[in-house]
Amino acid sequence: MPDHLIHLQAVQFEAARRLPLAPAERAETRLHGHGFRSVAGATTLPVDFAGRARAMDYQPLHEFLPDASDLGVLRHLAADLPASACCALQGAPGQGVRRAADGRHYAWRMWQFESAHHLPNVPPGHKCGRLHGHGFRAVVHVPVLDPAAGWNAEQARLEAAWAPVHARIHQRYLNDLVGLDNPTSEWLAVWLWRALLPALPDLAWVTVYETASCGAHFDGAVHRIWKDFTIDSASLQDAVMSGHTWTLRLQLAGELHPVFGWAMDFAEVKHAFDPLFRALDHQPLHAVDGLTTPDSAGIAHYIRRHADRVLPALGRVDVLDGCGGGVSLDWGCGGLQALPEA
């Protein structure tokens, strides 16, 4: 696939709402408030995207929006975006909606579970071969079935589907579960997919966070992994010296190794990327040889030019600048996990 660059913008606002169309037993019927966060991605972003969010800051959304659900708020924010733009909203802690580039909407929910595991097939001396544990997170996406519901209806069925799965994996030894004798992030995503599918036959994709900075996606057919890095670097633009803690998310595709059970060891990703990391971290980016512009797009293209040499499986990089801006450059991953988490 050809290189595809989209510009990202994240906005945050605080607002109150009530969703009177929700069933009476749902807490959403009562007046409540959230810290909302939205991310949009398009080849060109309108300048008033952030302005729409600012207009909703500290406002009672249900008093001026005909639909104050997550989907209704996202549609309002995205009203001026191009039809092909991706966008996402976190409407409450750990839940929200997304619009993909093809216009389809998905509801998502994030859960945390605490579990122990070890990887029995790793090379001798590998730290993951020792018994250890993680605070895992799982993000589950399903299509929005009723866009006119007026409340976050998909959250109810996500909650119902997740509860019995959570009981099986929370505070458990994952290796003891049937189908998880080698519980890599990739195989854990597959296991969760299979466990959720009977209750969610329209399941779109599952994401597993092994740690806050690495994990795996699975959509029923394709495996993706990612690894995050941060660089603390200076930038000279238009005669103004500035700097950011940039977040780099490397997204890689690959078949699972028949023995190790991973697309690529996260430690190997870190090792392979280290030369590029050192070239960018704690550096004046405007002086880095081969970096065309000292900004998010320049960083993304710099990594792309070196990717085939250092990380052939790399197919996408997201670069976020810490001020709500950034880019996503995709040349081999396609639409899976359309935006960084909202």
| Domains of the chain from N-terminus onward | 1-101 (3.30.479.10), 104-221 (3.30.479.10), 231-250+271-342 (3.30.479.10)
Encode the chain (342 residues) as per-residue pLDDT tens digits.
788 999 999 999 999 999 999 999 999 999 999 999 999 998 887 767 788 888 999 999 999 999 999 999 999 999 888 888 889 999 988 999 999 988 899 999 999 999 999 999 999 999 999 999 999 999 999 999 999 999 999 999 999 999 999 999 999 999 999 999 999 999 999 999 999 999 999 999 999 999 999 999 999 998 999 999 999 999 988 889 999 999 999 999 889 999 999 999 999 999 999 999 999 999 999 999 999 999 999 999 999 999 889 999 999 999 999 888 999 999 987 654 545 554
For residue 22 the two structure tokens come to: 């929700």
| Percent of the chain scoring above 70 in pLDDT | 96
The amino acid occupying position 277 is F
Q: Which pLDDT belongs to residue 232?
A: 97
Quote the CA–CA distance of 216 and 296 in Å, as a whole number.
24
The beta strands (E) that lie in the chain are given as 4-17, 32-42, 59-60, 86-92, 95-99, 105-117, 132-143, 205-211, 214-218, 223-237, 240-253, 314-320, 325-330
Longest dimension (CA), the chain: 62
The amino acid occupying position 173 is Y
Q: Which pLDDT belongs to residue 236?
A: 87
Residue 125, H or E segment = none
Determine the 3-state secondary structure of 11 from DSSP.
strand
Characterize the bridge pairing of strands 32-42 and 4-17. antiparallel
Dihedral sign for Cα 67, 71, 76, 82, please: negative
Contacts by residues 237-244 (CB-CB < 8 Å, ≥ 24 positions apart):
237/286, 237/293, 237/294, 237/295, 244/321, 244/322, 244/323
Q: Tens digits of per-residue pLDDT, 105-137?
A: 999 999 999 999 999 999 999 999 999 999 999
Quote the CA–CA distance of 18 and 16 in Å, as a whole number.
7
Q: Is 288 within 8 Å of 275 (Cβ atoms)?
A: no
Q: Which pLDDT belongs to residue 275?
A: 95
Quote the CA–CA distance of 189 and 185 in Å, as a whole number.
6
Dihedral sign for Cα 273, 277, 278, 279, please: positive
For residue 104 the two structure tokens come to: 């389809």
Give how far the C-alpha of residue 128 lies from the chain's centroid of Cα atoms, to the nearest Å. 24
Dihedral sign for Cα 71, 74, 75, 81, please: negative
What secondary structure letter does DSSP report for 69? S
Q: Which pLDDT belongs to residue 337?
A: 52
The beta strands (E) that lie in 24-161 are given as 32-42, 59-60, 86-92, 95-99, 105-117, 132-143
Q: Is 208 within 8 Å of 215 (Cβ atoms)?
A: yes
Residue positions counted in the chain: 342
Quote the CA–CA distance of 309 and 301 in Å, as a whole number.
14
Interior CA angle at 34 toward 92 and 9, to 5°? 75
Q: Which pLDDT belongs to residue 245?
A: 96
Of 224, 218, 214, 221, the C-alpha closest to 205 is 218
Of 279, 222, 280, 231, the C-alpha closest to 251 is 222
The amino acid occupying position 44 is T
Q: Which pLDDT belongs to residue 264?
A: 92
Q: Which pLDDT belongs to residue 267?
A: 93
Q: Is 211 within 8 Å of 227 (Cβ atoms)?
A: no
